[in-house]
Amino acid sequence: MSKEQAPLWEVFVRARRGLSHTHVGSLHAPDAELALRNARDLYTRRQEGVSIWVVPAAAITASSPDEKDAFFDPAADKVYRHPTFYEVPDGVAHL
Amino acid sequence: MYGNDFSAEDAPGGGLLGEVEAAEAALRAAAERGRRGGPAPDEDLAAYFAAVVDADQKIEPRDWMPEAYRKTLIRQIAQHAHSEIIGMQPEGNWISRAPSLKRKAILLAKVQDEAGHGLYLYAAAETLGVSREELVDLLLSGRQKYSSIFNYPTLTWADVGAIGWLVDGAAIVNQVPLCRCSYGPYARAMIRVCKEESFHQRQGYEILHTLAHGTPAQKAMAQDAVDRWWYPSLAMFGPPDTDSTHSAQSMAWKIKRFSNDELRQRFVDMCVQQAEVLGLTIPDPDLRWNDERQSYDFTQPDYAELMRVISGDGPCNRQRMAHRRAAHSEGAWVREAAAAYAAKRAQQQKEKVAA
């Protein structure tokens, strides 16, 4: 019996044309090709997707939830990035 | 309808599937509401955790959580996964003997789904920091249990119908509220599982309906299956609330939403009308409508039997475990070959890059 656990892969599925790939879950597989085949059998048994990505979980770098404030704060003080920041004068169309 | 913490009336589709969709919509809505990421630097972690749970937000894998919450979830999700894996056996027993090619194909697809459910759930458990190998080992060594129901034998083809209708039906009643569990990966896995389970329940019901409207012998076979599976199905909801050890804390953490007895009652109320349509009798002479409670009074399952079966003394415990261990060890060469092939390919790739 192999002592080493096959690596973990994260699975992303594009449900339909025009949508982005969305994370659906994970699985174990020894290599990318088998990960893809297993993902097809596990996550798209009911035509849930038209395209699958598999990514080695070890290759993902994630932000940590406890860094939230420091990490995402720079976005909070840039309200001018949202269109709602701007006041549109009455009577202007197509803006 | 079955839920009381949300309205099912306006749920798309109605019924149990509607509730699953409502749970999915609630999950999205909670995500929309939630603007909280992690705790503030000086915030008390336990208070932060409680605030997230109270706000019906999901706890995610990298969040801080109480150690007991993590342990409870690992135990519950793992046992749930083990049940899906062992649950393949009673029905797998009938794949080669199903009465038509269509029925064989359907049963094969159903058993494949059970394997899939086991894998979704193992993956959810792994996000809590336990490895797949440990989980498999906990099952094979008998240190963790699976649902007692799978220790009963499938004696006739009608049993496959009864399992779909009653066992999967009871499982769905148990599992639909888990779609709203406070732990994100478990809730999401349960939404997938429940959507697929409803096919299982309907295919079982259809098998029984066909038999119950067939020859007298076929109808008798269907009735016999219902007679044998009814009480074990009621026992699937676990011991009565007065004896249930984990309930209160799990409710507070929003892992569990309803007590064992509430869910059992809901299941009974749901089955009575379905049995009438089948033209089969639920084997309980004391089953009757209670106008005051707006529910059916019914005979409780034999909880002493439940405890015996859980502790290993059911009709098929040894057979199920022996089969699972054999399947695992007989599959070892496949895992080894795949690992060897992957290692060889990686080596070749390395040499190609070096050259």
User: For B142-154, how does the pLDDT look when each residue is reduced to its tens digit (9 = 90+)?
Assistant: 999 999 999 999 9
Burial of A16 (0-12, 13-18, 19+ CB in 10 A): exposed
Query: In this structure, which amino acid lies at residue B235?
Result: A
Using one digit for the tens of pLDDT, what is the confidence trace for B268-297? 999 999 999 999 999 999 999 999 999 999
- Amino acid at position B241, single letter: D
pLDDT on residue B9: 37
Contact B194, B175 (CB under 8 A): yes
Rg (CA), chain B: 22
- Whether B89 has a pLDDT exceeding 60, the answer reads yes
Rounded to the nearest 10 degrees, the angle between the axes of helix B216-235 and helix B168-175 is 30
Does the pLDDT at position B13 exceed 80? Answer: no
Largest CA distance in chain B: 83
Asked if residue A13 belongs to a domain, the reply is yes
Q: Could you tell me if B206 and B226 are in contact, meaning their C-beta atoms sit under 8 angstroms apart? A: no
For residue B138, pLDDT over 50 is answered with: yes
Residue B59: DSSP 8-state? B
Residue B10 has pLDDT above 50, yes or no: no
The answer as to whether A31 is a domain residue is yes
Where does the pLDDT of residue A72 fall: very low under 50, low under 70, confident under 90, or very high at 90 and above? low
User: Would you call A48 an interface residue with chain B, using a CB distance cutoff of 8 Å?
Assistant: no
pLDDT band for B8, please (50, 70, 90 cuts): very low
B positions 75-94 inside 8 Å of A (CB): none
Q: Is the pLDDT of residue B35 over 60?
A: no
Size of interface A-B (CB pairs under 8 A): 71
Number of domains, chain A:
1
Assess if residue A85 is contained within a domain.
Answer: no
Which run of H or E residues covers position A24?
strand A22-28
Tell me: pLDDT of A73 over 80: no
Average pLDDT over residues A7-30: 95
B112 or A74, greater pLDDT: B112
pLDDT at A67: 56
Please determine, for residue B229, whether its predicted confidence score (pLDDT) is greater than 70: yes
pLDDT above 70: percentage of residues in chain B: 94
Residue B12 has pLDDT above 60, yes or no: no
A27 lies in some domain:
yes
For β-strands A51-56 and B295-297, DSSP reports them as unpaired
| Pick among A12, A28, A72 to test the B interface (most B CBs inside 10 A) | A28
Q: What is the mean pLDDT of residues B39-58?
A: 85
| Residue B252, both tokens | 């507070």
Q: Which residues contact B284 (CB under 8 A, 6 or more apart)?
A: B230, B298, B299
What mean pLDDT comes out for the span B50-75? Answer: 92
With an 8 Å Cβ cutoff, is B125 touching chain A? no
pLDDT at B151: 96
CA gap A53, B273 in Å, rounded: 45
Quick one: angle between helices B67-86 and B132-140, nearest 10?
A: 60
**pTM score, two decimals?**
0.88
Classify residue A72: in a domain, yes or no: no
**What ipTM is given for this predicted complex?**
0.81
Q: Do A1 and B329 touch (CB under 8 A)?
A: yes
User: Is A45 within the bounds of a domain?
Assistant: yes
The domain spanning residue A56 has which CATH number? Answer: 3.10.20.520
Q: Each residue of B305-342: pLDDT tens digit?
A: 999 999 889 999 999 999 999 999 999 999 999 999 99
Q: How far is CA B239 from the centre of its chain?
A: 17
- Where residue A83 falls among pLDDT bands split at 50, 70, 90? confident
Whether B7 shows a pLDDT value over 60: the answer reads: no
Q: Give a yes or no: residue A49 inside a domain.
A: yes
User: Can you give the pLDDT at residue A76?
Assistant: 65
Q: Is residue A20 included in any domain, yes or no?
A: yes
Residues spanned by the domain of A36: 6-61
Average pLDDT for chain B: 90
H or E element in which residue B297 lies: strand B295-297
The distance in angstroms from the start CA to the end CA of chain A is 65
Q: Give residue B2's pLDDT band: very low, low, confident or very high (50, 70, 90).
A: very low
The pLDDT of B101-123, averaged and rounded, is 95
Most confidently modeled range among B8-17, B35-44, B94-103: B94-103
Write down the number of H helices and E strands in chain A: 2, 3
B342 at A interface, C-beta within 8 A: yes
* Higher-scoring residue by pLDDT: A64, B113: B113
Q: What average pLDDT score do residues B158-179 get?
A: 95
B29 — pLDDT class (breaks 50, 70, 90): confident
CA distance B172 to chain A (A): 19
